[in-house]
Amino acid sequence: MVKSIAKKEFISTLRDSRFVALSVIVLLLLLAATMVGLHSYQTLQEEREVAQQTVNEQFANSADRHPHRMAHYGSYAFRPKSSISFLDFGMDSYTGASVYMEAHRQNSANFSQAQQSSSLIRFGEMTVAFVLQMLIPLLIIFLCFGAFTQEKETGTLTILLSQGVSLQQVAWAKIAGYSKVVLLVVAPALVLASLLLFGRGGFELNGDLYSRLLLFMLFYLLYFFIFIVLSVVLSALHQRSSTALVTLLGIWILFCVITPKATANLGATLYTTPTKAQMDVEVHEEVAKGVDGHNSGDERAEAIKQELLQTYGVATLEELPINFDGVLMAVGEEHSSKVYQEHFDELTAIFQKQNNISVFAGLLNPYLAVRHLSMGMAGSDFSHYIHFQNKAEQYRYNQSQELNHIQATKLKYGDKETRLSGDTWKNLKPFQYEAPGAGWALSNHSISLVALLLWLGLVCTLGIRLIGYSKIA
């Protein structure tokens, strides 16, 4: 009996020309989004790769220079796009693509896509994630709103129940039927996306990529299932199809349009973001209390000087076996980087607090939960961005210190003239960004994962139980 109800729903839906038309539209949009995503991914990625290679070569082939000159010449880190970010651009369009890395200074990540667009981009981007997050639920609502109300309106529900099946059984049967329909719409697109991902060159295939993609799909399937059950339950609780539909559409608007914006704005209102100007001044003041790398006049430099003179048992800086300039520069860099990192971590913590409002709102809104999980798997979320920025800063610090070390060991004290051979720079490793693994990505979204599972559990137990209270006229 249950099986035949599921089968009936499946077949009758496929016979409904309006639904088929809508499905075809959604499917086409899904395919379009895949192609657009891939195209945009490839253009941006190629540009960044070329840029990275250019600056790496420029650095390696630099002229003969003083090492500190080289430290100021610095390097660039261009953020590579994660392979499956073509499915979900996430925050990528709003984060800077390039970081200039030089001695003593931490620069902002500049040139985001959003800064290069008119306000049109704020309406949202055509990505696979957008179709999956917003349009498929709408399709599901359209598919399911009449699940029970139609049977009530035509009086077939009483007949069905007289066959000896319970309301819950009918509900499960319908859910099974609808799930099959949704799968039929989504599966071709997901398969195509995977084929494109694996079929085309330029992607590095590895276990990590597979697990990210699989989890990405799994989360969406759970999300769709939640929406199907939710819609069927609400249909059972209503008497008329039109009121069931209006309620469901209201929920969709609340979930997908209003709360995401409201929670993000609320977070920003509650926790004030310090301006970069303010932060730079604070860093500068705190660093000034330490060693100023350019000025050996101040007290702590003096202390280091005395310590070194004592250790090596010499009377003047010129007699030291190492170059005091380089040593001082290294100590200064260490101090200023530490101070900067503290402030950067504070800033990150403020952003996290702001974002947590949206993350915890995921407990009330499965759209938010799946949105965060999706960005996480696609590598276009907040944590990945911060991860990149931290790696760039780490590289900047190491490179500066390496150059300071070269200055300390290869040049004499007070020597501002000598230029080291260009070959010296070839030994320094270029910047290479290694994205973190799927496990790391998932661990940043444990709350969203819990939220999604909680929703699943809730609609399947409480929701289905509620159906028992449905009035059968």
Helix (H, G, I), strand (E, B) or coil at 123: helix
Q: Residue 138 interacts with another protein (CB under 8 A)?
A: yes
Q: What's the helix, strand, coil split of the chain in %, to 5?
A: 75, 5, 25
Between residue 46 and residue 65, which ones bind another protein under the rule CB under 8 A? 47-48, 51, 54-55, 58, 63, 65
One of 100, 210, 413, 433 touching another protein (CB under 8 A): 100
DSSP 360-375: HHTTT-HHHHHHHHHH
- Stretch in the footprint of another protein (CB under 8 A) among 32-40, 315-323, 449-457, 459-467: 32-40
CB of 426 to another protein, least distance (A): 17
Beta bridge partners of 109: 99
- Stretch in the footprint of another protein (CB under 8 A) among 45-53, 305-313, 329-337, 394-402: 45-53
Separation CA 53–CA 55 (nearest Å): 6
Helix (H, G, I), strand (E, B) or coil at 240: coil
| Structure token pair of residue 376 | 């996480």
CB of 461 to another protein, least distance (A): 29
One of 2, 31, 60, 134 touching another protein (CB under 8 A): 134
- Stretch in the footprint of another protein (CB under 8 A) among 94-102, 154-162, 406-414, 444-452: 94-102
Asked whether 197 and 213 are in contact (CB, 8 A), the reply is yes
Between residue 168 and residue 187, which ones bind another protein under the rule CB under 8 A? none
Between residue 220 and residue 279, which ones bind another protein under the rule CB under 8 A? 241-242, 245-246, 249, 253, 257-258, 260-265, 267-269, 272-279
CB of 141 to another protein, least distance (A): 9
| Structure token pair of residue 217 | 């799909």
- Stretch in the footprint of another protein (CB under 8 A) among 120-128, 188-196, 211-219, 437-445: 120-128
CB of 445 to another protein, least distance (A): 13
Asked whether 356 and 267 are in contact (CB, 8 A), the reply is yes
CB of 362 to another protein, least distance (A): 13
Beta bridge partners of 77: 99
Q: Residue 349 interacts with another protein (CB under 8 A)?
A: no
Between residue 390 and residue 419, which ones bind another protein under the rule CB under 8 A? 416-417
Rg (CA), the chain: 30
DSSP 272-309: PPPPHHHHHHHHHHHHHTS--TT-TTSHHHHHHHHHHH
CB of 194 to another protein, least distance (A): 22
- Stretch in the footprint of another protein (CB under 8 A) among 7-15, 117-125, 313-321, 331-339: 117-125
Asked whether 198 and 156 are in contact (CB, 8 A), the reply is no
The one-letter code for the residue type at 470 is: S
One of 120, 204, 299, 473 touching another protein (CB under 8 A): 120
CB of 346 to another protein, least distance (A): 11
- Long-range contact set of residues 161-169: C-beta below 8 Å, sequence gap at least 24: 161/472, 163/1, 164/1, 165/1, 165/2, 165/5, 167/236, 167/467, 167/468, 167/470, 167/472, 168/464, 168/465, 168/467, 168/468, 169/1, 169/2
Q: Residue 124 interacts with another protein (CB under 8 A)?
A: yes
One of 69, 180, 405, 410 touching another protein (CB under 8 A): 69
Separation CA 136–CA 174 (nearest Å): 18
One of 121, 165, 192, 428 touching another protein (CB under 8 A): 121
CB of 312 to another protein, least distance (A): 29
- Cβ closer to another protein: 168 or 418? 418
CB of 147 to another protein, least distance (A): 13
Separation CA 59–CA 70 (nearest Å): 9
One of 10, 41, 86, 145 touching another protein (CB under 8 A): 145
| Structure token pair of residue 240 | 């008329």
Between residue 358 and residue 387, which ones bind another protein under the rule CB under 8 A? 358, 382, 385
One of 13, 23, 34, 40 touching another protein (CB under 8 A): 40
Q: Which of 437, 272, 447, 434 has the alpha carbon at shortest distance from 371?
A: 447
- Stretch in the footprint of another protein (CB under 8 A) among 5-13, 112-120, 310-318, 325-333: 112-120
Asked whether 458 and 229 are in contact (CB, 8 A), the reply is no
Q: What is the maximal distance between C-alpha atoms in the chain?
A: 105
